Amino acid sequence: MKPSRDNLARLLLPLFTGILLLGLWYAFKHLLGLHDLILPAPHDVARAFFEESETLRRASGITLAGAAIGFLGAITVGFAISLAMASLRFLRYSLYPYVLFMQMVPILATAAIVVILFGVGLQSVALIAFLIGFFPVVASTLQGLLSVPEGQREMFRLYKASPLQELFLLRVPNSLPAFFTGAKIAATLAVIGSVTGEIFAGSSRGAGGLGFHIMIFKSELKVAAIYAATVICCLLGFGFVSIVLLFRHLALRHWHESTLPDEE
């Protein structure tokens, strides 16, 4: 029937695209005669996974730790700050422009500044991952907390709901879709932030993450290994986003349109 054919197309078409891209990769390399140090072949990248497996596994764990600490910090602190800003107008008016402004700070500049302040190591990497995710979480959660339909607010007023009841029974649930949008952005950025942080601040006593090792691989001319590390970064990012989407599905499946099938 139609839905199952659609599912098949969703599975096969990306597979075809992948094969096509690999073909183009080989063609590009051979037609232009590019050296392995400029553009390694896909099978060299695959081999690098095995040759560097020990290093990559250890580095992935470290990157994951930095990203996870930063991400969890961004969503918990971000949510708490959003609650405070939604409840207290003076706080909202005072801080909101800076929340918007801080989203514009380039991640490389953040990384450089954090390393100067806090030195090299996991604390700096996690802080960079935190900072890159925190502001999007606050911006979108606050939006959700403040955009309650007028009719529902009036209904709460009619039943003499206290400000705390209005916050936790109306505004917080209403903000969840927006919160998850922010959390998804933070999840995407957490790994990027962590890797960027590691490039600046990655090595503490030889235990570096993927970003750190990308720099090492570069200096050792292990180009295929750089590609392998990059693929792992993408997979980690996917993993983070998938976890957020899973939680979003669990939280919103009964009521929110965006959890209807389609969006992955």
Partner 1 sequence: MPEGPAIAIENLGKRFGDGPLVLDGISFSAASGEIVALVGPSGCGKSTLLRLVAGLLKPTSGHISEAGEAIQPAFIFQDPTLLPWATVEANIALPQRLKGSPHARRLRNARLWARRLGLGDALGYHPRQLSGGMRMRVSIARALSLQPSLILFDEPFGALDAITRNRLNEEILALHQESRWTAFFVTHSVTEAVFLSHRLVILGTGPGRVSAILENPLPFPRNLHTRESLAFQQQVADATTRLQDVLPPR
Using CB under 8 A, list all residues that contact partner 1: 149, 151-152, 154-161, 165, 169-170, 173, 176, 252, 254-257
Complex with partner 1: residue 6 or 263, whichever CB lies closer: 263
Q: Do residues 197 and 111 touch, judged by C-beta distance below 8 A?
A: yes
Complex with partner 1: residue 77 or 161, whichever CB lies closer: 161
> What's the sign of the alpha-carbon dihedral 175, 178, 180, 185?
negative
Q: Measured from the CB of residue 93, what is the shortest distance to partner 1 in angstroms?
A: 22
Q: Measured from the CB of residue 157, what is the shortest distance to partner 1 in angstroms?
A: 6
- SS3 sequence, 135-168? HHHHHHHHHHHHCCCHHHHHHHHHCCCCHHHHHH
Q: Measured from the CB of residue 101, what is the shortest distance to partner 1 in angstroms?
A: 33
Q: Measured from the CB of residue 254, what is the shortest distance to partner 1 in angstroms?
A: 5
Residue 5 contacts by C-beta under 8 Å, 6 or more apart in sequence? none
Task: Tell which residue, 240, 249, 255, 252, has the closest CA to residue 193.
Answer: 240
Question: Taking the CB of residue 130, how many other CB atoms lie within 10 A of it?
Answer: 26
Complex with partner 1: residue 10 or 157, whichever CB lies closer: 157
Q: Do residues 129 and 66 touch, judged by C-beta distance below 8 A?
A: yes
Complex with partner 1: residue 42 or 173, whichever CB lies closer: 173
Q: What is the rounded CA–CA span in Å between residue 37 and residue 16?
A: 28
Q: Measured from the CB of residue 216, what is the shortest distance to partner 1 in angstroms?
A: 49
The tokens for 48 are 């690098």
Q: Measured from the CB of residue 145, what is the shortest distance to partner 1 in angstroms?
A: 14
Complex with partner 1: residue 176 or 236, whichever CB lies closer: 176
Q: Any idea which residue has 């529902």 for tokens?
A: 152
Counting Cβ atoms within 10 Å, is residue 142 exposed (0-12), middle (13-18) or buried (19+)?
buried
The tokens for 122 are 């996991």
Complex with partner 1: residue 58 or 153, whichever CB lies closer: 153
